[in-house]
Structure 1
Amino acid sequence: MQVTSEAVSGVARRLNVSVPTSRVNEQFEARLKRTAKTAKINGFRPGKVPLNVVRREYGAGIYQEVVNDVIRDTVFEAIQQEKINAVGMPNIEKVENKEDALVYEATVEVYPEVKVNAFDTLEVERKTSEIKDADVDTMLENLQKQRQTWVETKGMAKKDMQVTFDFEGTVDGEKFEGGAAEDFKLVLGSNRMIPGFEDGIIGMKKGEEKVIDVTFPEDYQAENLAGKAAQFKINVKLVEKAKLPEIDAEFLTIFGLSEEDGVEKLKADVRKNMEREVKNGLRNQVKGAAFDALVAANEVEIPASMLAQEIDRQRQQMIQQFTQQFGAQGAQAFDSSMLPDELFKEQAEKSVKLGVLVSSILAESKLEVDQARVDAYINDMASSYEDPTEVVEYFKNDEKQRAQIEAVVLEDQVVDHILASAKVTDKAVSYDELLKEQQARQQA
């Protein structure tokens, strides 16, 4: 077999393959003989059909099957022979049967080869943060709010109070679908309703009725209401204010603490969890910043097949998340056409480029995963569980799970490698600012 190759782009190679006719004919004759053993043709007993008759009846179809199989086998032989790092399936073109050879062209996409620019041109902002006593107190208050109860108040409805009311809406004097409800509960300030609705209830008392004027947003999901002025008749039935639970023995038991442990032990545990959260948040922030700078500073041509695979991976991941949130029944009603390629293309391109760049850095720097860092990562993660030893043993004995941790740690090592040369600027942020940035990155 003769093979020549040429580059048609930075991520594609064209192979010109010539397979000796003798190889094709040899496989054709062998398959013809196998077919003769089972062929059923009128006038002949099974297995006794003359070869020339089988050739006449089935020869053309068998020959085409052989040609397809030979191309399938030889194209991968050719890729290996030319030492091509192929991605995706090759595209076969211009198949021709010549007197002495079967010739064809195959175009195959290849893994991108990149030369990563020097890291000293990269500018990376690295956030720093520390937990303050006020942050711990706020977190403790949030834990109380999660378990708060509601008690009736005779006063006026204010922000953060819960109001139970009936309402009935009209547009141009006509009622509309979904515009009425009874015993509706709403925490003022939650922004669950259209702009102006909650503001109109503030100041009302139990037993009071009122008509409020609001305007539906221009982008409201119900097109027949978008941008329309509306009136809502409100009848307040109950106004309640939040009552936080006391941090007493009962409250402490929720977190596995006794009365003897006291509030200070709860605060210490809360601080420890927050510090772990901050540590992970800062690591993810600087990793994201370093990788963003890396992608922005390097041109990477990516094969269409790699992009398609990543788009499909992200689509399947979203469907899986949808299934987890709404169950299998909800997922069945989920139409994949609701998730077109364009929805994932930008993020997928970035992800593929980053993967190529990181692979190149690993190959050039010869970085290998630091097992001591892997163990430290697992121990830190396990410390948040009731039985850390059990968690450590799980990751120690499950190769797949440990491999996932190793991949995360190796990425961290790449980030450290980049930051060692990059222009790094440190910026102190509060705990809340760090969390908001994390949430924004996850939603992006």
Structure 2
Amino acid sequence: MEVSVEKTSELSRKMIVSIPEDIVQDKVNERLKSLAREVKIDGFRPGKVPQKVVQKMYGARVKEEITGDLIQTNYVQALQDNDLRPAGMPHIEPIKSDQGFSFAAVFEVYPNFTLDAVDTIEVNKPVASIEASDVDAMIDKLKEQKKDWQVSEQSSQEGDQVTIKFSGTCEGENFTEGTVDDFQVELGSKKMVPGFEDELTGLAVGDKKTFEVTFPEDYGNEKLAGKPAQFEIEVLKIENPKLPEIDADFIKAYGIESGELAEFRADVESNMQRELAQGLKAKLKNSVMDALYDAISVALPGVMVDQEIESLMKPYYESAKKRNVDVNDIKPATADFEDQAKRRVALGLILAEIIQQNEIKAEAAIVRAVIDDMAQSYEDPEQVINWYYGDKERLAEVEQMVLEDATVAWVLDKIKVTDEPVSFKDVMEPATQQ
């Protein structure tokens, strides 16, 4: 086997592998002999079929099979011999030759880069504590979750729930498939297209209205994104919110059997402390990832970026399948994912290099501790623990998380870290929005 490797760009390689004709022919003859002992051909006893007959009937197919086998085995061997690490599947083409069999393999390789810039990184570490006002705000949110609705005779205002029927058209086409009945909108929730909820303010039951709003540029449906649409609505019902009292029944509904307010607040604060710890950890991890991405320059294999874009678009394909619609109507353009895909690929390569160079591992004891901690928020922790350890893929997800955390810890030990005081709200609200 002869191998030549051409560097066609920073990461692209063209490798030509040549295999002498005698090796190809020997393998073809060996396969034909094996077939001669097995095939059944009219006029010949089993195992007595002449080689020429087998050659005539099966020669072309056997040579095709042999060349396929040779490509597979010699491609892998050529990579090993030339210390090449392909970043994706190769594009392989046979080359016609009178001197044997040759093929060309075109592929991208993993980049080489250094981690020297890690020593120059500086990040801020968010630190926060929970104040009484934070607990009050959280209890208000819990009250909000338990609110009831009371029919109102007054005009609609922010905070009300308005039941409407409506239809929408864009560029003359009805996109709501007729009229949507009994649709509930909570004014001020900002769950609708910007401007839609504002148009429902100040109306009374029975009122009808026609108005226009413009869909956001990044709206999920390409046919509507960035375009004005006309809505016709009729108000069917208006309801005011009624928040519950913080009494014993309310408190017991959250698992505090005593119904005591002090115990309830302590339980709420305990859950908030756990959420805060996770939020602070996530913010610090994101800061480290951002810093690594900015500090370390990595050439990115295009094939890996393309694969990551496909991964990011997968939910849109699944959504289209469930909704029985054309995926092109709901998926964003590929370019919309390019920056995110590049960041993911770069960080994946950087983290892998850190892990490899420093032999970082996901220790089994730490993995178990993480699973135990996650299980504590469930009614039956033991069942949750068994659920993770009963499936290799689920367990691998936790192991990967532990491995990333260990890698972040390694980075934090090498860089300058400055404490940055933040509020509970600063930590939790961005995570909720994200």
> TM-score, with normalisation over the residues of structure 2?
0.80
Q: Give distance in 2, aligned partners of 1:245 and 1:384.
A: 25
- Following superposition of structure 1 onto structure 2, how do residues 68-107 of structure 1 map, counting pairs within 5 Å? 68-93=68-93, 95-99=95-99, 101-107=100-106
Q: Secondary structure at the match of 2:146?
A: coil
Q: Give distance in 2, aligned partners of 1:269 and 1:214.
A: 47
1:381-413: CA deviation from partner (whole Å, max 9, x where unpaired): 222122334434554665544432232122122
1:311 maps to which residue? 309
Q: Give distance in 2, aligned partners of 1:180 and 1:14.
A: 59
**1:415 matches 2:414:** no
1:268 maps to which residue? 266
Q: Which amino acid aligns with 2:15?
A: L
Q: Which amino acid aligns with 2:113?
A: V
User: Which deviates more, 354-363 or 187-196?
Assistant: 187-196
1:326 maps to which residue? none
Q: Give distance in 1, aligned partners of 2:119 and 2:353.
A: 17
The Cα of 1:242 is off from its aligned counterpart by 1.6
**1:355 matches 2:353:** no
Q: Match for 2:280 among 282, 285, 297?
A: 282
1:245 maps to which residue? 244
1:168-216: CA deviation from partner (whole Å, max 9, x where unpaired): 9999xx9x88697776654332346666665565455668x5x767443
The Cα of 1:115 is off from its aligned counterpart by 0.9
Q: Give distance in 2, aligned partners of 1:371 and 1:17.
A: 44
Q: Give distance in 2, aligned partners of 1:426 and 1:74.
A: 55
Q: Secondary structure at the match of 2:189?
A: coil
User: Which deviates more, 6-15 or 430-439?
Assistant: 6-15
Instruction: Give structure 2 stretches of 5+ with no counterpart.
Output: none
CA contact (8 A) 1:152 1:238 kept: yes
Q: Secondary structure at the match of 1:89?
A: coil
Q: Which amino acid aligns with 1:216?
A: V
Q: Secondary structure at the match of 2:214?
A: coil
The Cα of 1:366 is off from its aligned counterpart by 3.0
- Following superposition of structure 1 onto structure 2, how do residues 85-164 of structure 1 map, counting pairs within 5 Å? 85-93=85-93, 95-99=95-99, 101-153=100-152, 155-163=154-162
Q: Give distance in 2, aligned partners of 1:384 and 1:405.
A: 16
Q: Secondary structure at the match of 2:244?
A: coil
The Cα of 1:360 is off from its aligned counterpart by 1.1
Q: CA RMSD in A?
A: 3.9
Q: Give distance in 1, aligned partners of 2:71 and 2:163.
A: 73
Q: Which amino acid aligns with 1:312?
A: E
Q: Taking structure 1 as reference, are residues 71 and 152 closer, same or farther at Cα in structure 2, changes over 3 Å only?
A: closer
Q: Give distance in 1, aligned partners of 2:148 and 2:420.
A: 40
CA contact (8 A) 1:96 1:102 kept: yes
Q: Give distance in 1, aligned partners of 2:289 and 2:390.
A: 31
How many residue pairs end up in the alignment?
425
Q: Which amino acid aligns with 1:187?
A: E
Q: Secondary structure at the match of 2:414?
A: coil
CA contact (8 A) 1:195 1:215 kept: no
Q: Which amino acid aligns with 2:186?
A: V
Q: Give distance in 2, aligned partners of 1:30 and 1:359.
A: 44
**1:216 matches 2:216:** no
Q: Secondary structure at the match of 1:102?
A: strand
CA contact (8 A) 2:168 2:229 kept: no
Q: Secondary structure at the match of 1:241?
A: strand
> TM-score, with normalisation over the residues of structure 1?
0.79
Q: Taking structure 1 as reference, are residues 91 and 155 closer, same or farther at Cα in structure 2, changes over 3 Å only?
A: closer
CA contact (8 A) 2:28 2:63 kept: yes
Q: Secondary structure at the match of 2:255?
A: coil
Q: Give distance in 1, aligned partners of 2:118 and 2:161.
A: 54
Q: Give distance in 2, aligned partners of 1:87 and 1:265.
A: 56
Q: Give distance in 2, aligned partners of 1:363 and 1:177.
A: 53
CA contact (8 A) 1:197 1:212 kept: no
Q: Taking structure 1 as reference, are residues 336 and 68 closer, same or farther at Cα in structure 2, changes over 3 Å only?
A: farther
Q: Give distance in 1, aligned partners of 2:137 and 2:28.
A: 79
2:20 maps to which residue? 20
**1:335 matches 2:323:** no
